[in-house]
Structure 1
C-alpha cells in the first residue's frame, strides 16, 4: 500500500568524513579522525557519549578508550514516500510526498542516539497523515487541496521529528496518481464535455446560416413580387391608353399571365409533367373562369358595384 524512495545513498564513515584516502585502520593507528564539511562525528569514551566533533582533524586516542562512534550528515536530504489510499468517493489514489529534512548540529546527540532509522520514522508519519486526510476529500478536492495536505504532513513531521534532532525543511505533494481505470474515465468525461460544447457551437452556426438564408430568400421573393406587381401595373396602364374597354384590358392581361405561366413551367427542370389545354378557346375559357371566380368572391364579400362593373 505504500513505499519509500530515498534520494540519498549511504556512505562509509571515511567518505562521510570528507573523502579522506586514509583507511579507518590507518586513522586509528594515528589516533586521529578527519571530519568533512557539513558533517559531524560523535566521539565516545569507553562506550559512552563524550563529544560532537565538527569538521576538521581531531585527535582521538584509541589507547585511552576514545573512538569515533559514527558520522552524521548535516546536509538537506530528500525522501520520496508513495502512499496508496482511498478518497471519500471510493477512488484509490497513490499520493507521492517529497520530504526534505536535515539533522540539527546542536541536536546531534538526539539524531544519532535516539533514532535508528530516520527514513522509516518519516515514512510512518507521512502514511499516518495522508491516510487520515485524503479519505475526507473527494478526488477533485485532493487535486485542488494538495497544499493543505502537504502542510498537514509538514506540521506533523516537524512536531514529531524535532524531538529526535531533525528539522523538516519542506514537504511537497509532488504527484497524485488515480487508478488507471479512473484516469481513463476522467479523460473520457472531459472529452465528452468538449465534444458537447463543440456540437452546440456547430448547431448554433448552422442555425444562423439557415436563418440568414431564409431571410435572404424571403427578401428576394418580396422584391420579386414587387417587381411583378409593378410590371403588371405598367402593362395595364399602357393598355388603358389604347383599349377603351376595361373588359378587353382584363382579357389581355389574363392572356399575358397565362403565357408567362406556360413559359415558367417549361423553363424549370424540376417541374413535373403537366397536361393543359392550349389554344384560343382554352385561353378564352380560362379567362371566363377567372372572371367568374372573381365575381363570386366579390359577391360573397359584399364588394361594391364598381368592381362588378369593371369585370
Structure 2
C-alpha cells in the first residue's frame, strides 16, 4: 500500500472526526441555554411560541428552537407622569403619579403588547382621571391613601392580560391652579376668623356662667347663714319658753334683766369719753336681777 494513500486516508478520517467534534460543540452551544436569575427567555419554533425558559440551565432543540426574546423580570418604575383631572366640584387639579411593575408572564407581554411602558402610562392616566372625577377636592386631599389603593386595583385589572403585575402605585403630588389656590386661601382665612370669633364668644359665655355660679354660691351661703341664725334664734326662744314653762314668769323676768345688764356693759366698753344715758328704772332692773340671782342660788 502506498504511503501517500495511507496518509490521505488518515487525513480524511481526522477531518471527519474534527467535523463531527465541531458539530457536537455547535449542537451543545445551540442546545444549551443558561438563563440568569433576573431574566426569562421566550423560545420560538418556526415562528411560534415553543416555551419559556426560567433561570438556570435549559435544553432546546438546535436549529429548530430559537431564543427570540430575553425579558427582564426585575421590578421597573415608569417615569413620573402628570395628568390633569377635574373633580366633582369642578376644580382642575394636576396629579403626579408613579407606578412600579414587573413582568410575570413574558409570553403574554411579548405577544399582546408592543410598548409596555406607554400602555401602562396611558392606562394609569385614564384611571386617575376617572377616579378623581368621582371625588371632591377635599376628598382628594384627605383620602389620598384610598385613592392610591383604587388606582392600583384598577390598573392591575387592566394590565392582567399583558402578564404584568403592578407592585406599587404612588400619588406624588396634587397641584392646583393659582386661582383655586387664592380662593382656598381666602376660605382658609375666613374659617380661621370664624373659629376665632367662636372661641371668643365661648370664652365670654363661660365667664358669664362662672360669674352666675359665683353669685349663686354666694346666695346659697347667705341663705345657709340665715337659716343657721334662724335656727339659733328658734332654739333660744325654745329654751326661754321651756324655762318659762318649768319655772314660771320669774325665769322670763330674770332673762330680761340679764339682757339689760349685758347691754349696759357693752355700752360702757366704748373707747374715749362718752355719756351713758340710763333709764330711770335701771336701778330697779339691777335690783331685780340681783334678787333673782340670789333667789336662784
The normalised TM-score by structure 2 is 0.50
Higher helix content, 1 or 2: 2
Counting only pairs closer than 5 Å after superposition, residues 101-120 of structure 1 correspond to structure 2 as: 101-104=101-104, 107-120=105-118
Bigger radius of gyration: 2
* Aligned residue-pair number: 189
Distance 1:49 1:206 in 2: 82
Cα drift, residue 76 of structure 1:
2.3
Q: Aligned equivalents of 2:201 and 2:137: distance in 1?
A: 34
For 2:60 and 2:107, the matched residues in 1 are separated by 18
CA contact (8 A) 1:60 1:68 kept: no
**Ranges in structure 1 where 5+ consecutive residues have no aligned partner:** 1-26, 213-236, 243-311
| Cross-structure match for 1:163 | 161
Tell me if structure 2 keeps the 8 A contact 1:102–1:169.
yes
1:47 is aligned to 47
C-alpha RMSD over aligned residues: 4.0
Alignment correspondent of 1:74: 73
Does 2:35 align with 1:35?
A: yes
1:47–1:204 Cα change, 3 Å: closer
* Cα-to-partner distance string for 1:284-309 (whole Å, 9 max, x where unaligned): xxxxxxxxxxxxxxxxxxxxxxxxxx
Mapping of residues 2-151 of structure 1, within 5 Å: 31=30, 33-56=33-56, 58=58, 64=63, 66-79=65-78, 80-104=80-104, 107-151=105-149
Q: Is the 8 A contact 1:81 1:126 kept in 2?
A: no
Check conservation: 1:43, 1:66, Cα contact below 8 A: yes
Alpha-carbon shift at residue 37 of structure 1 (Å): 1.4
Q: 2-side partners of 1:197 and 1:164: how far apart?
A: 54
Structure 2 matches for 1:141-220, cutoff 5 A?
Answer: 141-198=139-196
Report the 3-state secondary structure (helix = DSSP H, G, I; strand = E; otherwise coil) of the residue aligned with 1:140: helix
For 1:204 and 1:125, how far apart are their aligned partners in 2? 53
Give the Cα–Cα distance (whole angstroms) in 1 for the partners of residues 72 and 143 of structure 2. Answer: 34
Using the TM superposition, give the Cα deviation of residue 164 of structure 1 relative to its aligned residue in structure 2, in angstroms: 1.5
- Once the two structures are TM-superposed, the CA of residue 85 in structure 1 deviates from its matched residue by 0.8
User: Partner of 1:136: helix, strand, or coil?
Assistant: coil
Matches of 1:30 and 1:173, distance apart in 2: 48
CA contact (8 A) 2:127 2:155 kept: no
Q: CA deviation at 1:195?
A: 4.8
- State the distance in 2 between where 1:192 and 1:180 align: 18
> Alignment partner of 1:158: what SS?
helix
TM superposition score normalised by structure 1: 0.48
- CA displacement at 1:139 relative to structure 2: 0.7
